[in-house]
């Protein structure tokens, strides 16, 4: 069994060849899909649980508190205990709710984040599907989650849910533009939409350094607008605990609520990993010019560790925003997008195109 | 032109103030020494409540089992809830005079709102707040306490 921690291509090809020897092509594809599905499912659950724990700990430390510290060492098993509780909670059926849509909504939200995670390159060869329009695919698929949110708000037959869902719709429709444009800035620089090629193009320097100030502005705008897109604070108007009880998932209980909760954290992870892949070089180690010794040391760290370090760095930044800034009002939210982020972004795309045209990047 | 300058100034100032806020929370995050939460049941032994904490009303006694209460009943009159009840008795002092002294100073913790009117108005400063705060008991009758210790006397020189 060939196993290389720096390149998973040989391992996946070995599994593929083994399956094709033993089974017909159809069944080998089915089994491969099952393996990938189960792996993503397990990864999804672990990352979701870890992120909930991390968020509670980070928020506690920023507010001079201790956070979870009773269940297990440093409260590590707190989220597992919470999950067990959620699994045993009764699923309340809502009077006059649209039953079919009510039950469908959490699945749409969670499927959207599942589909997005498929396109993310975790390490060399560790990539469920390498589309040649990867960036476009991720934007398209992650925007699908809003359909689930709108359905959840509509079918709950509850004004808080409906207001939350409509706010979320307005928010995502506006901020989707900024996410797309800031990624387009980098697509211009990379000359490709394929995520694996974008990563490889950053071998001699991450795009956030390569693209001068323009790429940095795009990175900041991407962080802001993707935080808004995942409905996280300070843009959490769709939930707004203090105004709308819990927004679109007010009426949900038990495992259906857990789906929304998990999907929210996974969306954060997906957005952070897109930011890490597109701006911070994905699984590429940090290389500085001609410092060969330094570069060799950096190469020694396995790629998937680089990937996770960068992703969790971006996640930490997003948590930092959330627990520092107060929530925006809906008019402030739309002002920020249409009067500030969008014009800056359009100018930024122009500047980046000019830089690439003149060859003024590294 | 001015509006464009204002627009840019607006952005820069906004980002600056946001960064300021992030600096505060960031400094808290990286300095766990700023945590104010206490792990309460674990630190019971070394936990010291602050001086002004209002735990429960007590009558301090000195080492000779003497207190300062004259039994005047001002605390009982001032208490808004009827928490305190002073039962006095008459004693004969060494020089043959009759004098009022307390028999029982009853304090009902279950009715107390910790307003401190009794402690503030006591003319001889016989009452004080203790820092004890673990008041939970299984029987409500245990919340009725007698503040003066059995066999205690009034301190000499307290009128």
Q: How far apart are CA A126 and CA A220, in angstroms?
A: 28
Are the CB atoms for A264 and A230 separated by under 8 Å?
yes
CB contact A323 to B (< 8 Å): yes
Q: Is the pLDDT of residue B33 over 70?
A: yes
Greatest extent of chain A over all pairs of C-alpha atoms, in Å: 68
- Chain B environment of A323 (Cβ under 8 Å): 25
- Residue A252 is predicted with a pLDDT of 82
Q: Could you report how far apart the first and last alpha carbons of chain A are, in Å?
A: 40
Average pLDDT of chain B is 86
Q: How far apart are CA A52 and CA A80, in angstroms?
A: 10
Q: How far apart are CA A168 and CA A229, in angstroms?
A: 8
Q: Is the pLDDT of residue B103 over 80?
A: yes
Q: For the packed helices A159-190 and A342-358, what is the interaxial angle rounded to 10 degrees? A: 10
Q: Provide the shortest C-alpha distance from residue B46 to chain A (in Å).
A: 19
Are the CB atoms for B109 and B130 separated by under 8 Å?
no
Q: Which CATH fold would you assign to the domain B56-154? A: Alpha-Beta Plaits (3.30.70)
CB contact A66 to B (< 8 Å): yes
Q: Is the pLDDT of residue B35 over 70?
A: yes
Determine whether the interchain pair B37/A66 forms a contact, defined as Cβ–Cβ distance below 8 Å: yes
ipTM (interface pTM): 0.71
CA distance to A320, B32, B100, B144, per residue, from A60 (Å): 11, 10, 58, 40
Nearest to B21 among A61, A64, A325 (CB): A325
φ/ψ of A151, rounded to 5, equals -65, -40
Coil, strand or helix at B88: strand
Beta-sheet strand order (sheet of B144-146): B84-92, B98-108, B144-146
Are the CB atoms for A250 and A244 separated by under 8 Å?
yes
**CA gyration radius, chain B:** 27
Tens-binned pLDDT, residue by residue, of chain A (362 aa): 667 777 777 777 888 788 888 888 888 888 888 888 898 888 888 888 888 888 888 888 888 888 888 887 888 888 888 888 888 888 887 777 778 888 888 888 888 888 888 888 887 777 778 888 888 888 888 888 888 888 888 888 888 888 888 888 888 888 888 888 888 888 888 888 888 888 888 877 777 777 778 888 888 889 888 888 887 878 877 676 666 677 777 888 888 888 888 888 888 888 898 888 888 887 777 777 777 777 777 777 788 888 888 888 899 988 888 888 888 888 888 888 888 888 888 998 898 888 888 877 66
Greater pLDDT, A2 or B147: B147
How is chain A split into domains, by residue range?
A: 99-358
- Residue A244 is predicted with a pLDDT of 67
Handedness of CA B3, B6, B10, B16 (dihedral sign): positive
- Chain B environment of A65 (Cβ under 8 Å): 35-37
How is chain B split into domains, by residue range?
A: 2-34, 56-154
């Amino acid at each position: 069994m060939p196993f290389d921690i720096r390149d998973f291509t040989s391992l996946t090809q070995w599994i593929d060849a083994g399956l094709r020897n033993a089974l017909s092509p159809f069944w080998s594809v089915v089994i491969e899909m099952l393996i990938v599905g189960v792996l993503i499912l397990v990864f999804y659950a672990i990352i979701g649980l870890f992120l909930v724990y991390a968020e509670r700990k980070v928020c506690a430390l920023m507010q001079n508190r201790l956070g979870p510290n009773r269940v297990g060492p440093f409260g590590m098993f707190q989220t597992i205990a919470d999950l067990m509780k959620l699994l045993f909670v009764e699923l309340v059926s809502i009077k006059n709710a649209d039953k079919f849509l009510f039950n469908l909504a959490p699945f749409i939200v969670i499927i959207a984040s599942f589909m997005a995670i498929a396109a993310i390159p975790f390490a060399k060869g560790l990539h469920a599907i390498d589309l040649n329009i990867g960036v476009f695919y991720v934007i398209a698929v992650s925007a699908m989650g809003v359909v689930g949110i709108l359905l959840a708000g509509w079918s709950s037959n509850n004004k808080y849910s409906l207001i939350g869902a409509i706010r979320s719709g307005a928010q995502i429709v506006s901020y989707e533009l900024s996410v797309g444009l800031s990624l387009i800035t980098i697509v211009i620089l990379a000359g490709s939409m394929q995520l694996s090629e974008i990563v490889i193009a950053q071998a001699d320097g991450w795009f956030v350094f390569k693209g001068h100030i323009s790429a940095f502005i795009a990175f900041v705008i991407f962080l802001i607008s993707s935080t808004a897109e995942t409905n996280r604070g300070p843009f959490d108007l769709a939930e707004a605990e203090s105004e709308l009880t819990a927004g679109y998932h007010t009426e949900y209980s038990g495992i259906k609520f857990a789906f929304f909760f998990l999907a929210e954290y996974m969306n954060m992870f997906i957005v952070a990993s897109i930011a890490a892949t597109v701006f911070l070089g994905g699984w590429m180690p940090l290389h500085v010019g001609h410092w060969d010794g330094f570069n060799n040391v950096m190469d020694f760290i396995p790629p998937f560790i680089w990937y996770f370090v960068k992703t969790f760095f971006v996640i930490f930044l997003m948590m930092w925003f959330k627990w520092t800034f107060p929530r925006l009002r809906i008019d402030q939210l739309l002002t920020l997008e249409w009067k500030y982020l969008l014009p800056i972004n359009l100018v930024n795309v122009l500047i980046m195109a000019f830089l690439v045209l003149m060859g003024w990047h590294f | 032109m001015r509006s464009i300058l204002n627009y840019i100034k607006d952005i820069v100032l906004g980002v600056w103030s946001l960064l300021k806020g992030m600096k505060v929370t960031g400094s808290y995050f990286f300095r766990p020494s700023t945590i104010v939460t206490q792990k309460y049941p674990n630190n019971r032994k070394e936990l010291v409540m602050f001086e002004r904490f209002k735990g429960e009303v007590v009558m301090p006694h000195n080492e000779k089992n003497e207190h300062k209460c004259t039994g005047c009943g001002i605390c009982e009159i001032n208490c808004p809830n009827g928490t305190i009840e002073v039962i006095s008795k008459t004693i004969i002092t060494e020089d043959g005079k009759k004098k009022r002294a307390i028999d029982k100073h009853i304090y009902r913790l279950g009715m107390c709102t910790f307003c401190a009117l009794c402690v503030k108005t006591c003319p001889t400063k016989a009452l004080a707040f203790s820092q004890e705060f673990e008041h939970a008991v299984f029987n409500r009758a245990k919340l009725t306490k007698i503040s003066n210790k059995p066999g205690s006397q009034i301190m000499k020189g307290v009128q």
